[in-house]
Amino acid sequence: METDEEPERIDLSPLDPAADPERWERLVGRVLLRAAPELERRSATGPLTWVAGWAMPALPLAAAVAALALAGLASANHAGASEALTAPVVQALGPPEPAYTWLAEARSPAASDLIRAIQETP
C-alpha cells in the first residue's frame, strides 16, 4: 500500500514565512494595517448606532400612523367637537405623554415630537 512506503516528510521550512520572525511580523502588521479601517468602522457601530439605524426608518412609519390617527380625530371633530371631546379620545388611545400635546392641538408632529414620544414610551 502506498501509505506504507510514504516518502519521508520534506523539509519545507525555507518556504515558511514564520521562519523569519521579522518578515512574519511585517506580514502580520500589513494585514492589521489594511484591516484597521474596517475594525474602526465596526467599533463605531455600537448598540446606539444600531438602534438609531433602526429608529430612522421607523420615524416615517410613526409619522404615517400619527397622520392617520389625526385624520380620524379631525373627522370626529368636524361637527364642532371641542378640545374637551378630543382629550378623552386621546386618553383612551393611550399614546405616550408627549403625544398629548400635538394630538390635542390637532397638528402634525414635528420630528422632535416623534423623537420625544419614542424616548418617553415605556
Partner 1 sequence: MNDEARLVERARAGDAHAFGQLVRRHLRAAYAVALAVMRAPADAEDVCQDAFVTALERLDDCRSPERFGAWLLQIVRNRARDALRRDVVRRAAPLDAVAERPGPENPAADAERAELRERLLEGLATLTEVQRTVVLLHDMEGWRHREIGAELDLPEGTVRAHLFHARRALRARLGTGLRQES
- Interface positions with partner 1 (CB under 8 A): 2-3, 6-18, 20, 23, 27-28, 30-32, 34-36, 38-45
Shorter beta-carbon distance to partner 1: residue 31 or 93: 31
Shorter beta-carbon distance to partner 1: residue 15 or 84: 15
Shorter beta-carbon distance to partner 1: residue 40 or 120: 40
CA-nearest of 101, 79, 102, 104 to 89 is: 104
Rounded to a whole number, what is the distance in angstroms from the first to the last CA of the chain?
A: 73
Shorter beta-carbon distance to partner 1: residue 49 or 75: 49
CB of 26 to partner 1, least distance (A): 9
CA angle 35, 37, 38 (to 5 degrees): 65
Q: Cell 512506503 maps to which residue?
A: 5
**Distance of alpha carbon 46 from alpha carbon 29, whole angstroms:** 26
Q: What's the maximum distance between 2 C-alpha atoms anywhere in the chain?
A: 101
CB of 68 to partner 1, least distance (A): 36
CB of 20 to partner 1, least distance (A): 6
